[in-house]
Structure 1
Amino acid sequence: MKEQLQELREKALADLAQRVQQNELIDWKVQYLGKKGELTSIMRGMGQVSAEERPIIGQLVNEVREALEQAYEEKETEFRRAALEQKLQSETIDVTLPGRTFPAGVIHPLTRVIQEIENIFIGLGFEVAEGPEVETDYYNFEALNLPKNHPARDMQDTFYLTEEILMRTHTSPVQVRTLEAKKGTVPVRIICPGRVYRRDDDDATHSHVFTQVEGLVVDRNIRMSDLKGILLTFARQMFGQGQQIRLRPSYFPFTEPSTEVDVSCYACHGDGCRICKHTGWIEILGAGMVHPRVLEMSGYDSEEYTGFAFGMGIERIAMLKYGVDDIRHFYVNDVRFLKQFMNRG
């Protein structure tokens, strides 16, 4: 048996030297050191060894096993070192090459405009208020002086979930909810940005989902001149200090009197061009003095308090500010379009 063990060691070490791949190394270990390997087969003959020789043979078996295991580990380390060197050679970084640039994201133009509007009005003493997009018929229409079957509802036809639950058509319900929460206290100065829904056709200037910012001020002795002053300040901070505004009579059920507000054309500065249809003015929002009935329904004495409200479409403001000719550009996530706003303040 001594000869068998000596021959096994020499044979195994010679065989190991011929192995050149990792999978061959594993096969070698199974062949010589595995449970059914050659060393195990020799050990099964220990029962035939005399009691005097058994300790000597056992010690020799352990020496052969340790020698083979040590040789296996050295060979495995050699393979790992060679694989690492090969990997380092193949993945060498040329530090002289130009760096790879990763495109940075930018704030979406609509988000940018909303933030700019919020900053302007916060600077004027307003607070930002929010409310649910899924609204009740009462807050969306009735509390704003639009009772059921009122013909003005046709201008704001919307998506109904039930007879009394709908997707809000404007952010005016936030104004009503705020007035109710204030419980008749003043002053109230809020703007209400948010997404709204209407059954409009999708074309270059309309979308069935768009974004609004509405404003509300309620206090004692609020006049139309206060409204004009606030809107003139807004127009000049948004479009430039040289801008002027024009108020034209209009009709909204929740304001009386009501007005459409135009800003002098940013392109021709009032001289007349294709953008303003040669009028020198561009419509930007609707406004007016809060209707006394709206104040009364919200718990305010219309004999003691007055107020004004206004509302604007964010997409329209962004189209005017950035010269965008189609509202749909804001929603399609076209990277070519969004890249144009990377360097805009």
Structure 2
Amino acid sequence: MDSSSPPPSPSPAPSGSRGASNATQRWSILRRALLARSSSARAQEGISSDHQIKDGTNNISRKASRGFNLIECHSLPISQLAKSFGNSLNGNENDFGQKDVYVCYKLPCRDSSKLDLVYRKEDSLELNDIEASNKYNIDTTGLVCCWPSEEVLAYYCINHSDMFRSKKVLELGSGYGLAGLVIAASTNADEVVISDGNPQVAGYIQKNISINTETFGETKVKSMILHWDKEQASEILNTFDIIVASDCTFFKQFHEGLAGTVKSLLKHSATSQAIFLSPKRGDSLDKFLGIIKENGLRCELIENYDPTVWNLHKKYVAGEDRTWPNYDKEHCYPLLVRISYFSEF
């Protein structure tokens, strides 16, 4: 995801627990990686320091939950990708490495469409990945996994496919791009642009687009490196009918850039809208909604937007379903935010 994706632990843990210890260690590693280090400091630290940090990351569980499991999927070795696609990869199988895993999604659509995505394996995050985040002012969470809110967004888009018909759609902070790819595969959108601020993540998005080209029909699909804190290219200003994003409101320091990006890229139309799915995460979501309003946009917050997701949420909260033991509604349940221009636009 982009620079406002959540830190790598979607569920809080009680004080003194292993979860809290992991979180402390995680941020300690991140801090050390982001500190600017001179060439002399690097020489003094040598390989042993980097190895120590890498060992620390390998001991951290970076995804504390299973998610809502709304879309059936299974993982296969990356070597299976070439076997499954034969000559259709045109030699691009060499672009995939030992850190990658092939995940096949079966979409709950009438035509039983499927998507094949390439992810990084869990526990494959390295120090150079974190250092790259400092260089580009982005984070590494897009390399970690498909986060629960992204799956919920994809599921929501499948169930509301008509709204995308003949539309130009943008996904912000997409990570591996599941929601954007689902829109391209299961709706009749005219164009889908899947974006992230991390160049490494954008590379994976493009690979996943290439793998699934035959699934998109007439829909045009492309990837884009898009930073929220930079002025956007003139050719994309106010051109998107629908903007979607998931779990992109965690870091408050990026709220202004994210809100400004939505305002600058959303089409000036009474029917254009942005759809965000984000947990409350303390006061972070409320703060973002305030900045959205300051930018002259209106927003609607919806708690119960899908009966299947809502029923799962209630079972997790009540303890009736214990498959998500650390479930906490403030940090795990994504609320739906609908953003649009005021009526004069």
Q: TM-score range by the shorter chain?
A: under 0.3
Q: What TM-score results when the alignment is normalised by the length of structure 2?
A: 0.26
Query: How high is the TM-score relative to the length of structure 1?
Result: 0.26
Larger radius of gyration: 1
